[in-house]
Amino acid sequence: MFTWMLIFEIILLYVVSGPSHALTGGTSHNITTCEEFERGARFDPYAIIDSMWKIFYFWANTTEINPIVFSLPAKKRLAKFKEVIEAIEPHLEVEWQKATMFMTPRPGVEVLLLHATTPGAFRALVKQEQRHKARPQPVPLVKFADIRIKLVNQFMGMMCCEDLTAYALARTDSIPTTEKSCKEAADKIGYKGPDGRSYLFLQKRQIDDEF
């Protein structure tokens, strides 16, 4: 399977290498479920497109550090994406009419978000190029993931239903700058789970590793 982290590489830890990257602390009894996370959720794709978003807090083993861009599925881009997917996985059942937006976490990874049932519920169709493989370059990896996205004030909450990992995002010009403000902002998205950490933790770890 893919992992949500590779959606961020994702990308964002269950979509490629399986459940081994899921949260390690606590149990499923004290982690917010997708049903709880999406309850009363508010989401408008037009409110997040054409901005650069960054994960500032995460409940996962690791996360994406690069900005993430969301965009509407332009006709030509969607047609090209569909052509590649159908060439790789001709029997994959995709409800193309439900395409809502693209998420681009980094070069080589493209995620099409297909509206599911409730506001902010999506089937994420992930296409990841295998750029690390020796040439001739193999075909991209393709897989579905079940995710939830919601907006709370200026913050975005994102959750992967397979491994119950979650992420809090803000626009790059509105990122909290202290551990306290990161935690306070992350609390607003309504997710409870073990081992929550901020991007400042990753920055500090990177500095420590350099020494």
The structure tokens listed for 82 are: 């569909």
**Could you tell me if 1 and 146 are in contact, meaning their C-beta atoms sit under 8 angstroms apart?**
no
What is the distance between the alpha carbons of residues 73 and 202, in angstroms, rounded to a whole number?
A: 32
Burial of 132 (0-12, 13-18, 19+ CB in 10 A): exposed
Q: Residue 208 gets which letter from DSSP?
A: H
What are the residues facing 144 on neighbouring strands?
Answer: 125
Q: Which residue's entry shows tokens 């010009």?
A: 173
For the chain, the structural domain boundaries read 4-210
pLDDT at 28: 56
Residue-by-residue pLDDT tens, the chain, 211 positions: 444 555 554 444 333 333 434 454 445 558 999 999 999 899 999 999 989 999 999 999 878 888 999 999 999 999 999 999 999 999 999 999 999 999 998 888 999 999 998 899 999 999 988 766 666 667 888 999 999 999 999 999 999 999 899 999 999 999 999 999 999 999 999 999 988 999 998 887 766 666 5
pTM of the model: 0.82
What is the distance between the alpha carbons of residues 103 and 195, in angstroms, rounded to a whole number?
A: 26
In sequence order, what DSSP letters do the residues of 37-81 get, joined into one string? HHTT----GGGTTTSEEEEEEEESS----S-EEEE---HHHHHHH
The structure tokens listed for 87 are: 């060439």
- Rg, Å, the chain Cα set: 17
